[in-house]
Amino acid sequence: MINMCSDNPKNTEIKPEYASFEDAVEFHGHVCLGLSSGYQVAIAAMKALGVQRPKDEELVAIAETDACGVDAIQVVTGCTAGKGNLIIHDYGKHAFTFYCRESNKAVRAITCLEEFMQQNPEMDELRPKVFSGKATEEERTRFYEMTDQVSKAILEAPPEKVVKLEFVQMEPPKKARIFTSIPCGCCGEMVADAKTREHEGKQICMPCFLKLNK
């Protein structure tokens, strides 16, 4: 018998290596520059480290922003807030470090979008108007049309035009800890013991602590 499909002999379905940009848009809720550049960052970093989407914690992402791009990182890399392998230090910089526990390698990626922005000075002009609610309907439409265009240009650009990537040395980040829960000595709700504060000899939760120490 002649195998007609020699590249894929078992005829198994070939799964795409990475989540699609559409998946990221669905998760994030809209198309924007942060999302499309974050999507490029995630894929460039995974390729550089030679990793696939992790099921648990072997890949750790450290984001220096809490803005849009983080959502693309979560969808593509599988580093998520809930699993504890996404750490956010919001320094307001579109920079992301990825650490692979298996190889002990890390890359830091920053996005460079100046070139894309320079080609669209009208966007800079309209942005404050749109976000302060002072833009006309026409200006709003124009602004979002351009956002779509620039996001698409970022997504389709060669990665090296969008992402600057370098290998860095770093200590392994701490693994997500598993806490024991205890009832708060004030409100009675269960709380991770490591997150409690002491107040008059009782372990109490942070919201209660803040209320009592106003």
Per-residue contact flags (x/-) with Zn ion for residues 138 to 177, judged by CB under 5 A: ----------------------------------------
Answer yes or no whether residue 184 interacts with Zn ion by CB under 5 A: yes
Q: Cα separation of 197 and 181, whole Å?
A: 13
CB nearer to Zn ion: give 112 or 187: 187
Residue choice 32, 41, 63, 165 for contact with Zn ion (CB under 5 A): 32
Q: Cα separation of 44 and 143, whole Å?
A: 28
Per-residue b/e over 51-83, b at no fewer than 16 CB within 10 Å?
beebeeeebbbbbbbeebbbbbbbbbbbbeeee
Residue numbers 48-87 binding Zn ion by CB under 5 A: 68
Handedness of CA 81, 45, 36, 134 (dihedral sign): positive
Stretch that binds Zn ion, among 7-15, 81-89, 154-162, 203-211 (CB under 5 A): 203-211
Residue choice 41, 51, 72, 205 for contact with Zn ion (CB under 5 A): 205
14-17's contacts with Cβ under 8 Å and 24+ in sequence apart are 17/52
Answer yes or no whether residue 206 interacts with Zn ion by CB under 5 A: no
- Please give the C-alpha separations between residue 186 and each of 133, 180, 181, 192, 214, in angstroms, as whole numbers: 44, 18, 15, 14, 15
CB nearer to Zn ion: give 51 or 184: 184
Q: Cβ 38 to Zn ion, closest distance in Å?
A: 9
CB nearer to Zn ion: give 122 or 189: 189
- List residues near Zn ion by CB under 5 A: 32, 34, 68, 184, 186-187, 205, 208
